[in-house]
Each structure stands twice: as structure tokens, then as C-alpha cells.
């Protein structure tokens, strides 16, 4: 009998990655294609399908593709569509699952990348065995996937888990969503850059970051400066952890998770971000939750966590159908 695998596909603004993943989370093969969003979704789907066929051909004797899971920005699980994705520039609503289904005859499911990350942690990563957990992705923005009673929460319309758009500061920083003061304008790779510039304006402290222009600043530069003891960089991590931790204290009052997993670019800063987040969460959380919520790093291997998340979505669907 051939090993059943799910194809995991993660669609990014520049590259899209794909892999063949077995039920235990082993990635048997992986590759990537340039996304080239301006060529349109049909072109991307054709190139993805070709890449999957190339990947599978040498393994066809030993492994069988049972389903496809896709993580993509602004993807809707219920409708199989990708809706107005800001970093792909596709107008309107793209029936992405239907486009893929023209080429393949197995179940195909899609959700946004944060939900895929949450399913990846649940099935293969740090949330294995948990029934209530929240995954926060700290990238350009802040995404989230909420698992309660062992299931991902999609909400009535497929768009649950937008914790990045919880208002933390009325009349605060402008957000890409058109409102102000959303969590992701503070707690994300972009948010911490904005915080550094705010601190450079309000503080007189010496900082190597005074030589970096806005467009060049990255979470990684801030992290490197903080490791060298730069006071502005350290204060920026403290401020980011304060806003993230106090906001997550209110999130905990919703679904009472066993753990919150911090995932993605800014989470790679390690204790620089984990320590203040944990400390401010504990200081602000309702007494009955105090000491009960773990703040954990991802349990997925960094290199292919996005592929494993998307494949976990595929496996979740296949195992439901059984």
C-alpha cells in the first residue's frame, strides 16, 4: 500500500512553497515557485499544479496524494475563495479552490495562513494534544488562529481570528484596515519598527538605530541592536510585549486557552519578545487564569512550517471525512 500524503501549499507575496506531508507530519519532498501575483491566479495555479506533479513523479510508486491544503492571505475556508488579498493585488473574489480542482481530483481546502499555522501546531507542533490554544503570527501584520474544543474557529463567515484588529489604542496608529489603533500596528514586525521611530522621537537616548532610515528598518535589525544592549531597541521590545501581553490578557478572557503560541518573524527574537509578553499578560490577566496560560514558541521546524500548516489543514479535512 502506498503512503497517503497531503499536499501543503503556502502562497506568499513573492514565493509560494509546497510539499508532500504524511499523516505524522514528515515532509517527504518540497519545492517552491515564484508567485508572480501580477500574472493572475490562473497562471499561479497552473505553475503550482506542475510543481506538485514534478514533486510527486519520482515518488508515485510509494506515495499517493490524498488531498490538498492551501494557506493564502484573505482565504475563506467556507467558500474556497481568496478575497481582495492586499499583497497579491488580485481584485475581487478569486475562486481559488475551484481553479485548483480543475486540475486535481482530490479534496482541496483553503484558509488563511494564520489558521493554517494554528492547525499545523495542533497536529504536528507545540499544540499537540491540546484542545484550546491560540496561535499568533507576528509577521508584517498580526494574524491569529483560535482553536477551541479541539477545532479551529472559522466563525459564521469564515473570518474569525482577526485579533490583529482588536483596538488597543483609540485614535492610535493608522492601520491598513482603514481604522486606527489596531493591535497589529504595535505588535508585528512593522509595529515594532513604528515603535522604534516613536521612541527615537520621544527619547534622547543614544541608539545605533538613529542611523537607519524608516524604509530600511526591520525586526531583525532591532533584535540585533537589542542583543548589543541598545536602549531604544530594548525599550521597543518592552513596549511591544506590554501591548501584546495586556491585549492577550483580554483574549484569554474569551476562550481560556491552555497556551498561546507566538509564531513568525518577530517571534524569532526569542525572549526579547516572549519575556515581556509573558510578564504583562500575567500582570493583567484575571486572577483565575493567572499562571495557567503558557506562552510558547512554535513547535514546527522553521524551514517548512508554512507547508506543514497547509498540509495539516488538508489532513484535518481528510480525517474529518473518514
Binding footprint of a copy of itself on the chain (CB under 8 A): 130-132, 146, 148-149, 151, 153-163, 165-167, 170, 177-179, 246, 249-251, 253-258, 284, 286-289, 292
Angstrom distance (rounded) from CA 17 to CA 37:
14
Task: Please say which residue, 78 or 214, places its beta carbon nearer to a copy of itself.
Answer: 78
Question: In angstroms, what CA-CA distances link 96 with 126, 159, 299, 314?
Answer: 30, 16, 29, 15
Residue 189 CB, shortest distance to a copy of itself, in Å, is 20
Residue 237 CB, shortest distance to a copy of itself, in Å, is 20
Task: Please say which residue, 223 or 247, places its beta carbon nearer to a copy of itself.
Answer: 247
Residue 155 CB, shortest distance to a copy of itself, in Å, is 2
Task: Please say which residue, 197 or 289, places its beta carbon nearer to a copy of itself.
Answer: 289
Task: Please say which residue, 117 or 217, places its beta carbon nearer to a copy of itself.
Answer: 117
Angstrom distance (rounded) from CA 141 to CA 155:
21
Residue 224 CB, shortest distance to a copy of itself, in Å, is 32
The answer to whether 305 touches 298, Cβ cutoff 8 Å, is yes
Angstrom distance (rounded) from CA 207 to CA 195:
14
Residue 7, burial from CB neighbour count under 10 angstroms (0-12, 13-18, 19+):
buried
User: Pairing state of beta strands 63-71 and 3-11?
Assistant: parallel
Listed residue (319, 311, 318) closest to 69, CA to CA: 311
Secondary structure of residue 260 in the 3-state scheme: strand
Residue 208 CB, shortest distance to a copy of itself, in Å, is 32
Residue 159 CB, shortest distance to a copy of itself, in Å, is 5
Task: Please say which residue, 129 or 229, places its beta carbon nearer to a copy of itself.
Answer: 129
Q: Which residues pair with 261 in a beta bridge?
A: 135, 296
Task: Please say which residue, 3 or 246, places its beta carbon nearer to a copy of itself.
Answer: 246
Amino acid at each position: 500500500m502506498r503512503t497517503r500524503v497531503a499536499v501543503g501549499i503556502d502562497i506568499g507575496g513573492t514565493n509560494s512553497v509546497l510539499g508532500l506531508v504524511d499523516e505524522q507530519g514528515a515532509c517527504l519532498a518540497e519545492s517552491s515557485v515564484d508567485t508572480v501575483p501580477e500574472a493572475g491566479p490562473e497562471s499561479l495555479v497552473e505553475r503550482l499544479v506542475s510543481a506538485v506533479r514534478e514533486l510527486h513523479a519520482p515518488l508515485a510508486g510509494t506515495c499517493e496524494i490524498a488531498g490538498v491544503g492551501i494557506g493564502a492571505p484573505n482565504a475563506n475556508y467556507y467558500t474556497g475563495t481568496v478575497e481582495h488579498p492586499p499583497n497579491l493585488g488580485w481584485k475581487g473574489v478569486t475562486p481559488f479552490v475551484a481553479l485548483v480542482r480543475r486540475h486535481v481530483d482530490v479534496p482541496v481546502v483553503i484558509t488563511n495562513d494564520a489558521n493554517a499555522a494554528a492547525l499545523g501546531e495542533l497536529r504536528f507542533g507545540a499544540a499537540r494534544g491540546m484542545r484550546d490554544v491560540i496561535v499568533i503570527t507576528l509577521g508584517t501584520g498580526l494574524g491569529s488562529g483560535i482553536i477551541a474544543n479541539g477545532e479551529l474557529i472559522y466563525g459564521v463567515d469564515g473570518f474569525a481570528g482577526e485579533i490583529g484588529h482588536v483596538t488597543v489604542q483609540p485614535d492610535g496608529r493608522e492601520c491598513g484596515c482603514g481604522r486606527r489603533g489596531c493591535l497589529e500596528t504595535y505588535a508585528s514586525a512593522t509595529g515594532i519598527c513604528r515603535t522604534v521611530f516613536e521612541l527615537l522621537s520621544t527619547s534622547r537616548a543614544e541608539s545605533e538605530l538613529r542611523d537607519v532610515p524608516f524604509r530600511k528598518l526591520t525586526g531583525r535589525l532591532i533584535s540585533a541592536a537589542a542583543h548589543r544592549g541598545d536602549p531604544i531597541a530594548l525599550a521597543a521590545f518592552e513596549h511591544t510585549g506590554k501591548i501584546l501581553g495586556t491585549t492577550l490578557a483580554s483574549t484569554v478572557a474569551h476562550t481560556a486557552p491552555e497556551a498561546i503560541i507566538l509564531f513568525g518573524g518577530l517571534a524569532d527574537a526569542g525572549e526579547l519578545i516572549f519575556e515581556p509578553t509573558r510578564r504583562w499578560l500575567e500582570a493583567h490577566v484575571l486572577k483565575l487564569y493567572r499562571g495557567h496560560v503558557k506562552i510558547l514558541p512554535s513547535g514546527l521546524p522553521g524551514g517548512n512550517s508554512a507547508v506543514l500548516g497547509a498540509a495539516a489543514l488538508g489532513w484535518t479535512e481528510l480525517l474529518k471525512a473518514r
